[in-house]
Amino acid sequence: MNNTESKKKVIVVGGGIAGLSAGIYALKAGFEAEIYEKNPVAGGECMGWNRQGYHIDNCIHWLTGTDSKTKLWEVWKTCGAIDENTEYANTSKFYSSRLGDKEVSLWNDLEKTQKELIEAAPEDEKEIRKFIQHVEYAKSCVIPSDKPMDMMGVKDYIEMGKDMADMPKVMKEYGKINCAQLTDRFQSPVMKKLMTDYLPADYTAYSLIVSYATMASGNGNIPLKGSLAMTLRIVKRFKEMGGVLHTNTPTKRVIIEGKKATGIELEDGTIVKADDVITAVDTRFLYGRLIDEKYMPKDLRKAYADSKAYPVTSGFQTAFAIDSDFSGEDTIFFECDPIKIGDRTFTRMSVKSYAYDKSFAPEGKTVLQANVVQTDADYLYWESLSKDEYKAKKDELSAEITKRIVKEFPELEGRITLLDCWTPLTYNRYCNAYHGSYMGFVTTVGNKQMRFKGVVKGVNNLFIAGQWVMSPGGLPIAVVSGKFAVQRILKRDRRSIEI
Ligand SMILES: Cc1cc2nc3c(=O)[nH]c(=O)nc-3n(C[C@H](O)[C@H](O)[C@H](O)COP(=O)(O)OP(=O)(O)OC[C@H]3O[C@@H](n4cnc5c(N)ncnc54)[C@H](O)[C@@H]3O)c2cc1C
């Protein structure tokens, strides 16, 4: 690298995990890096907040890449998120499903799970064994973290193929059906629930298998102290490396002159010049707000126009203070009296106990969160409400949900206090998240998995990071996309992409 290159300035718009990663890798590559984030705290959806002496952790249910033998772990480590000394929550299962007097669980221990599931549903033994066997195969699934796939050569593909040798079996058996269709393979009603409780029914079945395999293989642990603490560690790393983070500083647009992005204009009118710009915001917000919609790739345009084939998921969530040590119920789904939100009625919901992290609540007390999964249509319902209607609906639902939790767990009577509730709109307001989405597009059967190069056609110094560049999104895609954006700059400059 020569001196001129080292003085180049990279501006990153958006300080979520993707933006922070882009900033860190830009510094690592020898650039100056500044991140512009609209919120008072960086982190975007990898967030947590305090209420009445309790901490509400609102992201990491599992962090893919906690196995130090994986390349993704190296990326997290470079970003300061985790290292050899990181302590993880001592959780033992993915989740449980209850139906009537039956309860089944997906334990991290696959043998234990298989034994229990067969005991609970002997009529499904063959299908249970097949399911568990394929979870075992799916433990080999890795997220490419070295370089963008379009920069991979034959040797890289051969190596990836070797690493993921068993994944074709998973795709063959579960790649062409969704979770709803997976339930047809089981006779036991509680097994059917287990297959559709966690991921929405239109998710491909292999997504469930891979998610469970990540937990079961020890590559999806939860760092203690949660999401916000992890974000703050990444921010610290960025600043220690010399990066500049501007919070409370929303960007209005990326300035494009001819074929060049010359910088950004902030909401207050300030112009900031840059040599290269990386955007790390939601792509629905990017195209049409930060840059002209004409730059949107065709596939992405198609996806936004067809929310049936390319749905997203969000949630109506509530957090409670529990006046007891409510452990043992990590995540559990159960039947509930019907709850109506807009046109849709729900008869199942879940609670998750955060008893596994003592730092979230005063001694002897626990945080419990409940979630009702929300879709694109639900988002539009929330959006259609007036301010007063919105508040009234939130209050009404929170009270209804509290009642249902107490009905399912009578021991909580008189011991449960609402701390906060939030909707898909909250994620849009806070992060500009499309339809309040947690992740990228849901991978449904038959839809083309969304993946696009993080470049802007016709503008050779504007790059895109963020979870939307590759389905299904999530933290691992966000963190590698930041690295990949910097590698695209290096490749354009004919420098080594090894960073
Ligand atoms: C409830 C919940 C649970 C989740 N659980 C998990 C999990 O267990 N495991 C997992 O892997 N993933 C999980 N995710 C997903 C994960 O949080 C996201 O995939 C990831 O945080 C996305 O990162 P990002 O940087 O791509 O986007 P974002 O987090 O959306 O970051 C974008 C950033 O850009 C900022 N921004 C937007 N507009 C502007 C502007 N005009 N100017 C300046 N800044 C702007 C936003 O404020 C935000 O900080 C969960 C998400 C949610 C909501």
Please report the atom of ligand 1 found closest to the CA of residue 476: 11
Give which of 267, 365, 291, 364 is closest to 322, Cα–Cα.
365
pLDDT at 446 exceeding the cut of 90: no
CA-to-CA distance for 6 and 31, rounded, in angstroms?
5
Query: Strand 93-99 to strand 102-107: parallel, antiparallel, or no bridges (unpaired)?
Result: antiparallel
State whether the Cα torsion 263-268-269-271 is positive or negative.
Answer: negative
The dihedral over CA atoms of 402, 430, 443, 93, expressed in degrees to the nearest 10, equals -50
- Mean pLDDT (whole number) for 372-383: 95
pLDDT at residue 329, as a whole number: 67
Pocket around ligand 1 at a 6 A CB cut-off: 13-19, 36-39, 44-46, 58-62, 64, 250-251, 280-282, 285, 427, 431-433, 438-439, 466-467, 473-476, 478
User: Under the phi-then-psi rule, with left for phi > 0, alpha for psi from -120 to 50, and beta for the rest, what region is 204?
Assistant: beta
- Mean pLDDT (whole number) for 332-343: 94
pLDDT band for position 443 (cuts 50, 70, 90): confident
CA 399 vs CA 17, 221, 394, 417, 421: distances in Å: 34, 32, 9, 10, 10
273: helix, coil or strand?
strand
Q: State pLDDT tens for residues 12-39.
A: 999 999 999 999 999 999 999 999 999 9
Q: Extract the runs of DSSP E, i.e. beta strands, from 180-279.
A: 244-246, 251-257, 260-266, 271-273, 276-279
- pTM, whole model, 2 decimals? 0.97
Ligand 1 centroid–CA 454 distance in Å is 17
List CB contacts of 408: < 8 A, sequence separation 6 or more. Answer: 98, 334, 336, 351
pLDDT band for position 289 (cuts 50, 70, 90): very high
pLDDT at residue 6, as a whole number: 56
Q: State pLDDT tens for residues 160-175.
A: 998 899 999 999 999 9
Please report the atom of ligand 1 found closest to the CA of residue 60: 8
**Is the Cβ–Cβ distance between 31 and 11 less than 8 Å?**
no
Residue of the CA atom closest to atom 53 of ligand 1? 438
CA-to-CA distance for 419 and 58, rounded, in angstroms?
13
CA-to-CA distance for 177 and 445, rounded, in angstroms?
6
Ligand 1 centroid–CA 421 distance in Å is 18
pLDDT band for position 4 (cuts 50, 70, 90): very low
Residue of the CA atom closest to atom 19 of ligand 1? 474
Q: How many CB atoms lie within 10 A of CB 316?
A: 27
CA-to-CA distance for 377 and 58, rounded, in angstroms?
22
At residue 342, what are phi and psi to the nearest 5 degrees?
Answer: 60, -130
pLDDT at 1 exceeding the cut of 60: no
Q: State pLDDT tens for residues 257-283.
A: 999 999 999 999 999 999 999 999 999
CA 41 vs CA 38, 116, 235, 262: distances in Å: 8, 44, 10, 26
**Is the Cβ–Cβ distance between 249 and 38 less than 8 Å?**
yes
Ligand 1 centroid–CA 446 distance in Å is 26
pLDDT band for position 46 (cuts 50, 70, 90): very high
**Is the Cβ–Cβ distance between 251 and 267 less than 8 Å?**
yes
pLDDT band for position 379 (cuts 50, 70, 90): very high
Q: For a ligand 1 pocket test, name from 17, 46, 282, 314 the mutation site with the most ligand atoms within 8 angstroms of its C-beta.
A: 46
Query: Strand 416-422 to strand 314-322: parallel, antiparallel, or no bridges (unpaired)?
Result: antiparallel
Q: What is the mean pLDDT of the chain?
A: 95
CA-to-CA distance for 219 and 63, rounded, in angstroms?
8
